[in-house]
Amino acid sequence: MMMSNTALSDTGNVWIRNSLPNQKDLIVHCKSAKEDMGYHRVHPRGAYNLLYKLRYEEYFMRLYEINDNWCHLWQGHDFKHHQVFDVQSGEQWEAREDGIYRWSALVYAWDATRSKASSLGSSCFSLGLLSVSSFFFFYFI
């Protein structure tokens, strides 16, 4: 039983809300292996809605969603605090002063090491958030 990927086309949906105090903006940059969704500045109490096309693959007569999406978030003075994490359709994330929350539970603290940390350098560099020496430090770790 072979099914067409076009027959299963659907849209993935992830919400990222800015709940930072003191009128702080949040920078959001989401990507996948095939697409860059760009940089977005989210004002206080605002939200960014990531929409993307879901992709499926068939294994042993069952369909599985391929999830290769992740987001970078920056906040703080000169946007020096950062986190990167994988996202899946249907999730709701919230940026707070002490970290990133999913469904009201703290999941990631700011500036904690993550698996996609090697992509931190290139993203921050293009935003102009890190100096060149910091870029090389993070990129080649």
Residue 132 has pLDDT above 50, yes or no: no
Domains and CATH numbers, the chain: 11-109 (2.60.40)
Mean pLDDT for the chain overall: 78
Are 79 and 42 in contact by the 8 Å Cβ rule? The answer is no
Tens digit of pLDDT for each residue in 38-84?
Answer: 999 999 999 999 998 887 777 666 667 677 899 999 998 899 999 99
pLDDT top residue among 90 and 64? 90
Which pLDDT value is given to residue 27? 98
Which pLDDT value is given to residue 61? 66
Residue 34 has pLDDT above 50, yes or no: yes
pLDDT top residue among 141 and 84? 84
Which pLDDT value is given to residue 33? 86
What is the rounded average pLDDT of the residues 92-108? 96
